[in-house]
Structure 1
Amino acid sequence: MGTPRYIEIHNQIRDRIENGEWQSRKRLPSERELAEMFQVSRMTLRQAVQTLVDEGLLERRVGSGTFVAEQKVSERALGVTSFTELMAETGRHATTKTVSYKVTTPSASEIEHLALKPTDEVLVLERLRYGDDEPILLEQATLPMKLVENCTRSALTESLYKTLASIGIKPGRANQTVGAALANERLSELLDIKRGDPILTVRQVSYDQNDTPFEYVRSYYVGERFEFSLVR
């Protein structure tokens, strides 16, 4: 099976951005013009654009169109800490609620970050993380299905990192990209905040003890309930 068309379009748009043809803060051609340019349906075009939005390369502005996102500062994390451990360090009790759990084919960004093939399957796990019963973040974690196919759903949703450790996966380094956004309607409902409230966005690729990527996570933190401390 060849590479899905939307992934090809995703890569071509990304190349134009990286080559400077479409520059930071500039508006892209309309959806109709892009679909004609790449000779694909508007549905396929939307799928490619949405993946680039998820990666932070593009941003949609209501009533204005789609723009190349402003380049943000990226910080490299020295290691990976589970949310449960993080809450324990601050004296809070961590709990988790599973929002969705599905096995599917990977998106273009998941293929790239997890070194997958388009035909591979991934597990996409979406969870709400609480500290003392207060929602702190919504986490969308993607893992190669081949790594966790023998793990139960309850084990993966209750303590993901503990379960990964039980099958020999030990977290090592991680690459993180931190940004800021405003809560949309879905995030406001899930995180118990107002629509338009500030949120912190984090995209993370986690690597194991052999420096192999095992997890791609997109997290949405409530701005007033969480902060990152960077040590140089």
Structure 2
Amino acid sequence: MTTPEWSAASLRLDQDSPIPLYAQLATQLREAIDGGALAPGARLDNETELAARLGISRPTIRQAIQSLVDAGLLVRKRGVGTQVVHNKVARQLRLSSLFDDLTRLGKHPGTRVLTNGAETASEHAIGALEAPELESVHRIERVRLVDEEPIALMNNYLPPGLITPSDAELRAKGLYELLRSAGIRLHAAHQNIGARNATEEDAELLGEPVGAALLTMHRTTYDENGRVVEYGWHVYRASRYSFDLTLPGAR
């Protein structure tokens, strides 16, 4: 294990217990994650090493790890291995788009598509999508409206070939709905919320004065295999929008 506070040597499995070995292993890994010994970003030893160290089969290791992947605690990343996810919420994540949230609240979302197509991958896009070999990306830019009033300016990078939505589809559905409809299983996201003042471009698109307060959000979304399937950077009118968060108490 890469974190100094914890190592696989601390794992103890009881071969005589009626509790399946995979469940014993999953429980101990979950406790290490919940207790902070396995920090976000920490990597597990590979399945072969864990199986040899614990004296159990690889399928048993794989079953234990998959149960924690399904619970939103671990993510598999190609070329990296199995990691503790950045998100500390111990449940399967349900990711939703602004379009979905507005519809759920009984609003009438609208969309003005500004950009929708392939472009050469910039260094920023390559880093955001965690794909050093990337040559092009699918870029989407749109203004989200509520009852015909602009509320947010939304930008997204998608890996090429993932989906190629038409402007009409972007006006009718949220991005996550389009991804799920294409068979992409969204697993986890890392999100950062901040604020800044409106530029002249922001002001023109959102109907706010230059210098007005805007909320910002940057989000990287992963599928069940640890692949980045979407990177978004959005700005919201602080006068018309707020983020509502529920925080769990300390255990």
Tell me the TM-score normalized by structure 1: 0.62
Contact 1:105/1:118 (<8 A) preserved: no
Flag the structure with higher helix content. Answer: 1
Query: What is the deviation of 1:161?
Result: 2.4
Partner of 1:107: 122
User: What residue ranges of structure 1 are gaps of 5+ in the alignment?
Assistant: 1-73
Partner of 1:25: none
Partner of 1:128: 143
**Is 2:199 the counterpart of 1:184?**
yes
Query: What is the deviation of 1:146?
Result: 2.2
**Is 2:246 the counterpart of 1:231?**
yes
| Percent identity over paired residues | 31
Contact 1:98/1:127 (<8 A) preserved: yes
Partner of 1:154: 168
Contact 2:126/2:132 (<8 A) preserved: yes
Partner of 2:81: none
Amino acid at match of 1:101: N
Query: What is the deviation of 1:119?
Result: 4.3
Partner of 1:165: 180
Contact 2:126/2:134 (<8 A) preserved: no
Which string of whole-angstrom CA distances, capped at 9 and with x for unpartnered residues, describes residues 108-148 of structure 1?
Answer: 23212312235421011001001121111000011011212
Query: What is the deviation of 1:212?
Result: 1.9
RMSD: 2.2
Tell me the TM-score normalized by structure 2: 0.57
Aligned pair partner of 1:203 in 205, 208, 218? 218
Cα distance in 1, alignment partners of residues 171 and 220 from structure 2: 19
Query: What is the deviation of 1:163?
Result: 2.2
Query: What is the deviation of 1:76?
Result: 7.2
Query: What is the deviation of 1:157?
Result: 5.2
Q: Aligned to 2:154, what secondary structure does the other structure show?
A: strand
Residues 157/216 of structure 1: CA separation in 2 closer, same or farther (3 Å cut):
farther
Partner of 1:213: 228
User: What residue ranges of structure 2 are gaps of 5+ in the alignment?
Assistant: 1-85
Map 1:1-232; keep pairs closer than 5 Å. Answer: 78-149=93-164, 151-156=165-170, 158-159=172-173, 160-232=175-247
Answer with 151-160 or 212-221: which moved more: 151-160
Answer with 220-229 or 156-165: which moved more: 156-165
Which string of whole-angstrom CA distances, capped at 9 and with x for unpartnered residues, describes residues 150-186 of structure 1?
Answer: x545335542323222221132221111111000001
Cα distance in 2, alignment partners of residues 165 and 99 from structure 1: 23
Cα distance in 1, alignment partners of residues 123 and 145 from structure 2: 30
